[in-house]
Structure 1
Amino acid sequence: MTESSVHPALWPAPHASGAVDATVTVPGSKSVTNRALVLAALSSEPGWLRRPLRSRDTLLMAEALRAMGVGIEETVSSSSSVTGGPDASGEAWRVIPAGLHGPVTIDVGNAGTVMRFLPPVAALADGPVHFDGDPRSYERPLNGVIDALRVLGARIDDDGRGSLPMTVHGGGALDGGPVAIDASSSSQFVSALLLSAPRFNQGVEVRHTGARLPSMPHIRMTVDMLRAVGAQVDEPETGGEPNVWRVSPSALLGRDLTVEPDLSNAQPFLAAALVTGGRVTVPDWPLRTTQPGDALRDIFTAMGGSCELTEHGLTFTGSGRIHGIDVDLGEVGELTPGIAAVAALADSPSTLSGVAHLRLHETDRLAALTKEINELGGEVTETADGLHIRPRPLHGGTFHTYDDHRMATAGSVIGLAVPGVEIENVATTAKTLPDFPQMWTRMLGA
């Protein structure tokens, strides 16, 4: 059966007939899975990833590492949970480090983590590694990684574009040392250099020199995961110099890591509780985490819900009313589409700020949200660094996704409250949440 037959071009977003009451098992974190794959590939001994996310982005990362010589053995459960996504309890990937080599061509798709995290790895390979991807990947900034790697001793051919396609001519090692970059367009520039830095001859000192650095929780995630495999990291969060990260050269240890549920992918399900005045439980929500999605507890509570976090998971309950919010999302920008969808259904205006960098994500998310919500009757205006949303009565229509998974889930949230919403290319959710349509309909009891 083809993907198009499973997910037709226009997917009728289910309309909620009442309050949802569901338990939704959310698959593993993409951000954790792809960082863990890189660190395991660079370790001095084999390691395990348990409950990894199997999605387009993570499979692209795994295939790229395999192409460069890393062994990744998969044990995959084919069963599904009746309450949500894949039953990942039996899934594990064993990662066996090996000598990295080229020549090889890597397909990054439109995955920011793959296109940014792997060029430093490729610089350690013996031979050329060519990077290519989806057309949109050519438009996403990569200059921060390219320029930094050249300063650190790498040879890269990109024809001066600062973007894909490009070739990294791996020399088997990299000098490393100090480098200054402007990572204001993507925190992934910093994470990319830190993840491979223990293998650089001199480690690395990364100094951010630009405007506000977005998505700091993702850098904290990178630092925590580096330390968990034995790396020494000095950072601003622990008394280091502001906007400077230092990683010392060292061997990395193989670990047995269980991947947390992807809290950002839990967003549409929590939003469903808020929009319908219902209740959704997400098992295994961590009590402590660096994932940006954990901010949903506070944000959605401020918008009218309530939550209870226990050692078993998070239960979020809607009150039957949705309030507007004035919130700076600079640290958690990936949550913006889902928050905008809820805000369009609120009883008062919202201002979402601090997210100018979203114009450079899978699509220009600010322009896309403005256009799609307005075409359903909304009133959204772009600001210099975000969106102003004035709720209006919405009507049905086509909600375009622009090959962006978070646009698809945002449109689905609106469809809960607005009959007749059709999502164009809902299959794009496979980027990080492959079973989203089935999980959504099961949540509604369909």
Structure 2
Amino acid sequence: MDLVSLSLWSAPRAKTPVDAVVTLPGSKSITNRALILAALADGPSTVRGALRSRDADLMIAALRDLGVGVDEDGDPTTLRVTPGKLRGTDVDCGLAGTVMRFLPPLAAMADGVVRFDGDEQARTRPLGTILEGLRGLGALIDGDGLPFTVTGTGSLRGGTVTIDASGSSQFVSGLLLSAASFDEGVTVHHNGKPVPSMPHIDMTVEMLREVGVAVTTPATGGDADTWRVKPGPIRAIDWVIEPDLSNATPFLAAAAVTGGSVSVPLWPSTTTQPGDAIRGILSAMGADVALADGVLTVRGPDTLRGIDIDLHDVGELTPTVAALAALAQGTSHLRGIAHLRGHETDRLTALADEINKLGGSVTETDDGLIIVPAQLHGGQWLSYADHRMATAGAIIGLAVDGVEVADITTTAKTLPGFENMWADMLSQSSNKASF
């Protein structure tokens, strides 16, 4: 479908400073990792506070089709996961990187043929690294990108493999998550430019250790750029999923761009989620940021400052930061994010194109963006079937009249009902302003 023909959502302009409390559903990254580990555990597990979004539901559907029991226990966010004998099936990846990169190692241990495909746009996402890595561990795979086929033989040898994970941290996480079930475990050595989004690998390692898996990393005495998972049982546990901190960032940005206040409850005091980095970013741009008693509150400044920042480890925050920078005073340099060209879309080109269409001044560099202050105007903002592009358009719409975001429902990938939550945030603000 032509993107221009998709339905348009009139991004609401904030008439007053935002003043709201926003409660977020569970983390997609943690939910889908917990589901993989629960599927390979030594008994039934419970996943509480699970995100129910398109990405998570695609993972649930794929696991069920592979022979894993995934049942709702009282409400959709509480899932009872019962391991089963893995079998051949068809897997719909949609646009979910966690599905297309986390499930092939598990599928290699199925008894039968597992066929992977997804949305047309997903066929351009890089997968060759993890598929070639799996071949090196003994997997039988036909294809180097979607669609591809994994012929499972009931087990996987495992062993040592060298990959270039500079395109995505998910290449490392995908191999580590199932590795305790491989005959020899796995040793993954990265050879290439620095791995992006390292907090996501830290998340994977922490979750593996929670279920009793022995993991050695560069930080714990291992070789540089090498991760080792020993073979052994994965313990069944009761997972409790943290709120999705990356999904919180557009709402916190709303406080920053309107000079208002947004509070997010249940913010963890310590976390491996990259979204936690928004605290330092907003503070550097002039906002007041406070975490007290599990509630994060951001109060926007009179003038939002530009920022010079390396986002290599927290690239998923780039659309939010770019939207903030487009509304700030002072030039911003966003660096270290060349890998974003391989996400749902080429996010660097997409951000530059969409901001410039609204009168902005954005220049692409090899690994980032330079954003110069400019007077923005209304217009159509394309989302490219990318949930974070859509929310970036919503942020700009708070401060600029006439912004129309194409296909706002693409946000259901990780945050179903985003537009209703956005409206509720503004409704809270209006109600408070009327008193």
Alignment match of 1:151 (pick from 123, 136, 157): 136
Offset at residue 76 of structure 1 (A):
5.7
Residue 47 of structure 1 corresponds to which residue in structure 2?
45
How much does 1:320 deviate? 2.1
Instruction: Give the Å deviation of 1:311.
Output: 2.9
Q: Within 5 Å, which residues of 2 pair with 1:51-70? A: 51-70=49-68
CA distance in 2, matches of 1:444, 1:282: 15
C-alpha distance in 1 between matches for 2:295 and 2:218: 31
Give the match for residue 424 of structure 1: 406
**How big is each residue's C-alpha offset from its partner over 1:4-61, in whole Å with a ceiling of 9 and x where there is no partner?**
xxxx810000100111110000110000000000000010111011010000000000
In the alignment, the residues of structure 1 paired with residue 73 and residue 409 of structure 2 have an alpha-carbon distance, to the nearest angstrom, of: 25
- Give deviations 1:245-285, integer Å, cap 9, x for gaps: 00000100111011000000000000000001111110000
User: What residue in structure 2 maps to residue 101 of structure 1?
Assistant: 87
Q: Which residue of 1 aligns with 2:116?
A: 131
CA distance in 1: counterparts of 2:38 and 2:192, whole angstroms: 31
Which residue of 2 is the match for residue 335 of structure 1?
317
Whether the 8 Å CA contact 2:269–2:294 is kept in 1: the answer is no
2:284 aligned residue: 302
Alignment-mate amino acid for residue 144 of structure 1: T
Gap change, CA 1:30 and 1:76, over 3 Å in 2:
farther
Conserved in 1, the CA contact under 8 Å of 2:45 and 2:81? yes
- CA shift at 1:94, angstroms? 0.5
Please state whether the residue corresponding to 1:264 is helix, strand or coil.
helix
Partner secondary structure for residue 444 of structure 1: helix
Structure 1 residues without counterparts, runs of 5 or longer: 1-7, 78-89
The CA distance in 1 between the partners of 2:55 and 2:293, in whole Å, is 29
**Out of 117, 122, 125, which is 2:107 matched to?**
122
Distance 1:372 1:305 in 2: 25
SS at match of 2:157: coil
Distance in 2 (alpha carbons) for counterparts of 1:209 and 1:307: 38
Q: How far is 1:241 from its partner?
A: 1.2
CA–CA separation in structure 2 for the residues paired with 1:390 and 1:147: 41
**SS class of match (1:433):** coil
Instruction: Please list every run of 5 or more consecutive structure 2 residues that lacks an aligned counterpart in the other structure.
Output: 1-5, 431-435
> Partners in 1 of 2:232 and 2:161 — Cα distance?
19
Distance 1:130 1:275, change over 3 A: same
> TM-score when scaled to structure 2?
0.96
Q: Could you tell me which residue of structure 2 aligns to residue 181 of structure 1?
A: 163
Letter in 2 for 1:275: V
CA contact (8 A) 2:51 2:77 kept: no
Distance in 2 separating the partners of 1:258 and 1:146 = 31
SS in 1 for 2:20: strand
**SS of match in other structure, 2:246:** coil
Contact 1:156-1:167 within 8 A present in 2 as well:
yes
1:384-407 C-alpha deviation (Å, 9 max, x unpaired): 100000010000000000000000
2:68–2:83 CA contact under 8 A, matched in 1: yes
Contact preservation (8 Å) 1:349, 1:390: yes
Q: How far does the alpha carbon of each residue in 1:138-168 deviate from its partner, in whole angstroms, 9 at most, with x for none? A: 100101111111110011111xxx2110100
AA in 1 matched with 2:106 = V
Give the equivalent residue in structure 1 for 2:433: none
The one-letter code matched in structure 2 to 1:99 is: K
* Structure 2 residue aligned with 1:382: 364
Q: Do 1:286 and 1:311's aligned partners in 2 also have CA atoms closer than 8 Å? A: no
Q: 1:210 offset after TM fit, Å?
A: 1.0
Q: Distance in 2 between matches of 1:417 and 1:106?
A: 41
Distance 1:302 1:350 in 2: 12
Aligned Cα root-mean-square deviation (Å): 0.9
Query: Aligned partners of 2:223, 2:178: CA distance in 1, in Å?
Result: 21
Q: Which moved more, 1:421-430 or 1:308-317?
A: 308-317
Report the identity percentage.
Answer: 59
Contact 1:287 1:310 in 2 (8 A): no
Alignment deviations for residues 337-377 of structure 1 (CA, whole Å, 9 cap, x no partner): 01000000001000000000000000000000000000000
Counting only pairs closer than 5 Å after superposition, residues 306-325 of structure 1 correspond to structure 2 as: 306-325=288-307
SS at match of 2:289: strand
Residue type matched to 1:57 in 2? D
- Counterpart of 1:27 in structure 2 is 25
- Determine if the alignment matches structure 1 residue 91 to structure 2 residue 67: no
- Structure 1 distance, partners of 2:44, 2:218, is 31
Alignment partner of 1:249 out of 222, 231, 250:
231
Equivalent of residue 264 in structure 2, options 278, 282, 289: 282
* Cα deviation 1:53-72 (Å, max 9, x = unaligned): 00000000000000000000
- 1:360-379 aligned within 5 A: 360-379=342-361
What is the aligned residue count? 423
State the partner residue of 1:354: 336
- Give the Cα–Cα distance (whole angstroms) in 1 for the partners of residues 292 and 217 of structure 2: 31
Question: 2: CA distance between counterparts of 1:317 and 1:46?
Answer: 43
Instruction: Look up the match of 1:292.
Output: 274
The answer for the alignment partner of 1:399 in structure 2 is: 381
* Aligned counterpart, 2:34: 36
Separation of aligned partners in 1, 2:196 and 2:90: 30
CA distance in 1, matches of 2:319, 2:231: 39
Aligned equivalent of 2:3? none
Q: Partners of 2:59 and 2:152 in 1: how far apart?
A: 18
